[in-house]
Amino acid sequence: MKAKPRIPVLRLVILFVVSSSLPERDQYLVQIVDAALAEATRKSGSWLACRPGCTQCCIGVFAINQLDAARLRHGIAELEKLSPERATAVRKRARQSIEKIGADFPGDLRTGVLHQDSRSKARFEGFANDEPCPALDPDTGCCDVYKWRPMTCRVFGPPVRSEGGLGICELCFRGATPEQVADCEMTPDPDDIESILVNEVEKTAGVSGETIVAYCLADDPR
């Protein structure tokens, strides 16, 4: 059997570390989204099952934009200062994840950017759905970069409207009526500040398109 090619993890992530920066207004966006989450949590009460140690949303690879990616790189650099051991563990898990799933990655292995053609999008639907997020500490069941997590993670759980309608975590709102779910709807970014900042990051970095969490956390920039 032909051996799978080794994925050049360090080269991939160094490219992003050098070229990415976090916009100043990202913290403003985070505050808006977190405030919306806090209000949705208050309205949802016991219907919201999200608790420390619940890892339902931490299993399975998902796409993130370049703003999320820049925030994660900033976060792992901050974690290095606060807790070098935890940062090292996160990077190790990220490298191991890329080694495991990289051969089937429906994107550019040099940049980590997902391909956007219809075939690649279809492949991504079934890609690494059982793979734990490398930011997840398997011992505590908590996220090691929680403060800097992507927007998808920040809005998972409460009812959030998308093209497919009002979506919720399958563990939440059990026994609630559609009207009760709708009453707890979360509107995370009403002015779409995220899109503006994504464009800013892509222009600054010279990289556009979506990637995945592991590619942002694998490298030690020292």
Residue 1 placed within a domain = no
* Domain ranges, residue 90: 9-217
What's the structural domain count of the chain? Answer: 1
Buried b (16+ CB within 10 A) or exposed e, 106-128: bbebeebbbbeeeeeeebbeebb
CA 114 to chain centre: 14
What's the pTM? 0.87
Parallel/antiparallel/unpaired status of strands 142-143 and 136-137: antiparallel
Per-residue confidence (pLDDT) for residue 220, from 0 to 100: 54
Residue 222 placed within a domain = no
Render pLDDT for 40-93 as a digit per residue (tens, 0 to 9).
999 999 999 988 889 989 999 999 999 999 999 999 999 999 999 999 999 999
Render pLDDT for 1-10 as a digit per residue (tens, 0 to 9).
334 434 444 4
